[in-house]
Amino acid sequence: MNFADRSPRVPWLAARQVGVTLLVLATTALGSAAMVEILRVNGITLLQGIILGLFVITFGWITIAFWTAIIGFLLQLTRRDPLTLARLASQPGVREPGKHHTALVMPIYNEDPRRVVAGLESTCRSLLDQPQAKGFEVFVLSDTQDEAIARREETAIAGLQQRLAPRLVVHYRRREANHGRKAGNLADFCRRWGHRYHYLVVLDADSLMGGRTLVALVATMQANPAIGLIQTVPIPVRSASVFGRFIQFAAALHSPLLATGQCFWQGHGANFWGHNAILRTRAFMASCGLPELAGKPPLGGEILSHDFVEAALMRRAGWEVHLETRLGDSFEEVPSNILEFAKRDRRWIQGNLQHLRLLGAAGLPLMSRLHFLFGALAYLTSLLWGVMLLIGTLDAIGRAQGRHDFFSAGYQLSPDWPVNTPDLIMPLLFSTALVLMLPKVLGLLLALIQRPHDFGGRASLLASSLLEMAIAVLIAPVMMLLHSGFILGVLGGRRVSWDAQIREGRAVPWGKAFRHTWLTTLVGALWAGSTYLLAPLFFWWLAPVWLGLLMAAPLVRITSSLAHGRRLFRAGLLKAPAEVTPSRLLQQPATAAFSPAGAHLAPPPPESPGEMPLQSFSRWPPRAAVSPCEATPAGSTRQASHHVKAKSE
């Protein structure tokens, strides 16, 4: 986005979306046609028909990332803005935002107070380094239920208030009951203090954002009153384990590329990822009050992955939702081992499966419905891939053990010889590998051209990319099995707990690694053994899958190691830009010092309450106006006729 442009134009958006759709459909059709030709040579059985259907879905899914990466690569290589397509300056300028009142809100739940405060203080001090820091306040919104943690929270926040006063005001509010989890926490804040602030910057407990980025976000919101939400691209940082370094390197290399491609075809209908984003407060309050879904949990009740839904409701109300790909200094922390990472995915799986119930919600734009579908497919394709491999194994064993019927007709003079089709199979395998790996290759190529020094040099970057691909291949079958189990558990009615994440590095003991992966290892052993004995040729084709499953426990243990992570760093491997050229934001300690004695927690400010009406998924537009006129996206030429025209905030 060009910050000098008050109303960025998105030329040919409909043509872009149609073009990308046609590319995805055409590529999927070509791959599917090749699979049909392979299967029909000797006759398509029922099992092979199921394989074909699953292949179409999974191949179509990876094709979306394939074309998104190509588009992102071309835009970044030519330095074009993904929205306006205008040529970009080397460094985006940051405008003076003018008068505003913006809250940095950080919802927390049973987190380590010293780690939370350290990250928040880094963000605050980076903001205070900017000459445009006036107008910002900070709000820590605690849902902590553990009394011991809550007391440490109060002490830590009191110390932060004392250290930052009087230049930056920090407020603290704790709810006695965490109804609605994070979404309920934000809604409670809005209903009590929402009219006090023009904008909200939502931070997670592990978020870090630079002051320049925060000021630029506010300036952009001020310049374009039609925008309701701007999402940045948070990059993982501060993990020293092998797995954490793998995630950090992959995200730094590939996320900006994919985000640029997404921005190109999403236009003003981007998504919300729940943190490291800025919201227009009254727009959020007027359009994002979340009701409960009908039915019992896990697929009913409270909406868990609320961010996708809030973005969809904003779009329904006429607001623009942008994805900002150029701003740096937007970071987050991630779980440092496979088990904790999978535990987080288990929570997201339940929330994303709920979104399938909202595909038919009244009034939502098509792009929002696609976000719901894609969010669910991100995990469902693991189950589909696993089922496809299982059925493929059964079919391969059946063909290897069965006898070919050379004379299928009663009066047949010549036999039906079985037909081998390597001329079809090999091109399809090569094409599938290309579709899967090209996004990674393009990310590597772009970094080699534009910023090799950010990853420690070209040699280090190339070696790290090969290591990252190898780890990804080994981990993929393990995550496939874990995701499949989580999905079946949710569909079977098993509820998932949403506890605080463990982000600090710690090696997983061998005993715990085996305890959590013994079933995965057993599945891998049975799978490998049965194919080796009954379908030896298929055994070698399946090697990447059963090898990853057999190595599940060593993968969990070794990739959680901090010592091995430090060895990789010293060897120049898996270095991320945040480590090679760290900004001042990341040079602060990961945990805060103990608060000084005598620090007293200041009370929150006087309330400035406002309405946040619950929305309906079955009816749109609402029968009666429920939002203040200020919440209408003034100046938008794309408003529905039922919207009330009003002045900008």
Q: How far apart are CA 365 and CA 317, in angstroms?
A: 10
Helix, strand, coil percentages, rounded to 5, for the chain: 55, 10, 35
Query: Which residues of the chain are modeled with pLDDT < 70?
Result: 1-8, 42, 91-94, 403-426, 497-504, 590-598, 623-649
Q: What confidence score (pLDDT) does residue 266 get?
A: 96
Q: What confidence score (pLDDT) does residue 624 get?
A: 54
Q: What is the DSSP string of 259-302?
A: HHHHHHHHTTB----SSSEEEEHHHHHHH-BPPPBSS-TTTSBS
Residue 204 lies in a domain: yes
C-alpha of 533 from chain center? 41
Q: What confidence score (pLDDT) does residue 537 get?
A: 86
How many separate domains does the chain show? 1
Q: What confidence score (pLDDT) does residue 411 get?
A: 56
Q: Which residues contact 55 (CB under 8 A, 6 or more apart)?
A: 31, 32, 35, 388
Q: What confidence score (pLDDT) does residue 93 get?
A: 65
Residue 93 lies in a domain: no
**Residues paired with 453 in a beta bridge:** none
**Looking up tokens 């820590």, which residue turns up?**
140
Q: How far apart are CA 239 and CA 340, in angstroms?
A: 13
Q: What confidence score (pLDDT) does residue 37 get?
A: 84
Q: Residue 142 belongs to a domain with what CATH number?
A: 3.90.550.10
277 DSSP 8-state letter:
E
Residue 294 lies in a domain: yes
Residue 457 lies in a domain: no
Alpha-carbon separation of residue 113 from 154, 237, 244, 261 (angstroms): 9, 19, 22, 37
User: Hey, what are 413's tokens?
Assistant: 């003079």
Q: How far apart are CA 283 and CA 286, in angstroms?
A: 5
Strand order in the sheet with 235-236: 208-209, 330-332, 235-236
Residue 218 lies in a domain: yes
Q: Which domain covers residue 353, as residue numbers?
A: 102-236+262-326+335-365
Residue 577 lies in a domain: no
Q: How far apart are CA 63 and CA 267, in angstroms?
A: 20
Question: Each residue of 509-541: pLDDT tens digit?
Answer: 999 999 999 999 999 999 999 999 998 888 998
Q: What confidence score (pLDDT) does residue 421 get?
A: 52
The model's pTM: 0.90
Q: How many CA atoms lie within 13 A of 162 on its CB side?
A: 14
Residue 540 lies in a domain: no
Residue 161 lies in a domain: yes
Phi and psi at 614, nearest 5°, equal -70, 140
